[in-house]
């Protein structure tokens, strides 16, 4: 019998785990300095959590691991973290718990994608969500938090790509213009983009094929249709980010892959040293309608959040030689070498006493290989 791990998954061993724990601990400590509290939601969710929040996304249509339970209800392995947190927020009536909600999370997620560098079918994300701040400070805080994470991990060349999808009035006006433009040029669009015209039309900007064509490069841009209020708010945010020396770039073609994003969106990119890959470390944005979409029925529940891919962070940090200054593996503080079988009982007492005092201690379990232990 030849038993192997499932395609698109990975065993993290020894050196990888040590590096992983360094990243996780640093980011979690930073989250808590910003007063974010940890939340843990189930790996299993009912499919409606995602089918209602992002019905036309590739994640839902193509990439979810789903199955029916014994009662015929459709279950999915969670493919992302925001929708489950909003589901928990609604179900547990957290709007009564506190006006300001600040959560961070970490854990495994699942998508049926073609495995490649930095992309797995089971992957891990660490992220944060900020709810119920009805002004631009929430956007500024989230981006400053991301910048602090990048600085903490010495990823100074990482860039936060930013776009503004506008308020409701902006989007209505732009979508009329954009739809008309695409209808006149639909013979230049691929089959997927023709389908997206009837679903989430903004995702056409995200198409790997059509985004390289003149039909998209010359298309109207939503930034040109921002209302005066949205434009002033956007400029205010950018000025604050510049004041804090946040490394950002305005990308007018940036849209996020999930349908629930509104208003302000962003991605974090990192160009590898050999320049073979511009790695997307993570991303996020505003989701001002998501609580209502999932049945919360609350008014003006604005939210913003982001997630970073742990596997991709590891690639970027290794490419940036972050771990070179660290010991590859943790070492022990004390090693007790037992030379005679009669000494094992006494040695165990000493061993346990040292361990109770947070001293990393080990001893030999056999005497037969004495010279090997001495090495």
Binding residues for L-histidine: 80-82, 111, 125, 129, 256, 260-261
List C-alpha distances in Å: 130 to 16, 135, 180, 301, 343. Answer: 31, 12, 36, 10, 57
First to last CA, the chain: 37
- Within 10 angstroms of residue 51's Cβ, the number of other Cβ atoms is 17
Radius of gyration of the chain (CA): 25
Compute the distance between CA of residue 97 and CA of residue 195 in angstroms, rounded to an integer.
42
Binding-site residues:
80-82, 111, 125, 129, 256, 260-261
Q: How far apart, in whole angstroms, are the C-alpha atoms of residue 339 and residue 343?
A: 7
Question: CA 159: distance to chain centroid?
Answer: 15
DSSP 6: P
Nearest to 308 by CA among 282, 345, 342, 334: 282
> How far, in Å, CA of 260 to CA of 256, rounded?
9
Q: CA-to-CA distance for 307 and 81, rounded, in angstroms?
A: 8
């Amino acid at each position: 019998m030849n038993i192997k791990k499932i395609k698109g998954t990975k065993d993290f061993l020894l050196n990888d785990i040590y590096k992983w724990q360094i990243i996780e601990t640093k980011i979690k400590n930073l989250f808590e300095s910003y007063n974010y509290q940890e939340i843990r939601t189930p790996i299993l969710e009912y499919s409606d959590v995602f089918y209602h929040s992002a019905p036309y996304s590739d994640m839902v249509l193509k990439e979810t691991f789903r199955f029916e339970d014994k009662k015929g209800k459709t279950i999915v392995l969670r493919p992302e973290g925001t929708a489950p947190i909003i589901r928990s927020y609604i179900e547990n009536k957290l709007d009564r718990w506190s006006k300001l909600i600040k959560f961070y999370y970490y854990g495994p997620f699942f998508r049926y994608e073609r495995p490649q560098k930095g992309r797995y079918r089971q992957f891990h994300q660490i992220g944060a969500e900020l709810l119920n701040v009805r002004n631009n400070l929430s956007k500024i805080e989230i981006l400053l938090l991301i910048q602090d994470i990048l600085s903490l991990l010495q990823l100074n060349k990482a860039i936060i790509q930013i776009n503004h999808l506008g308020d409701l009035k902006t989007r209505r006006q732009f979508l009329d213009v954009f739809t008309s433009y695409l209808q006149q040029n639909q013979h230049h669009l691929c089959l997927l983009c023709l389908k997206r015209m009837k679903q989430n039309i903004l995702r056409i900007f995200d198409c790997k094929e059509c985004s390289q064509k003149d039909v998209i490069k010359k298309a109207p841009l939503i930034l040109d249709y921002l209302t005066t209020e949205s434009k002033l708010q956007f400029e205010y945010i950018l000025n604050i980010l510049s004041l804090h020396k946040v490394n950002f770039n305005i990308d007018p073609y940036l849209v996020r892959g999930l349908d629930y994003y509104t208003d302000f969106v962003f991605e974090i990119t990192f160009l590898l040293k050999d320049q073979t890959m511009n790695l997307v470390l993570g991303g996020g944005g505003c989701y001002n309608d998501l609580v209502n979409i999932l049945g919360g029925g609350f008014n003006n529940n604005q939210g913003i959040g982001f997630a970073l891919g742990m596997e991709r962070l590891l690639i970027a940090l290794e490419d940036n030689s972050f771990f070179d200054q660290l010991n590859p593996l943790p070492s022990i503080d004390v090693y007790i070498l037992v030379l005679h079988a009669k000494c094992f009982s006494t040695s165990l007492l000493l061993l346990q006493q040292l361990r109770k005092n947070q001293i990393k201690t080990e001893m030999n379990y056999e005497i037969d290989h004495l010279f090997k232990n001495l090495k």
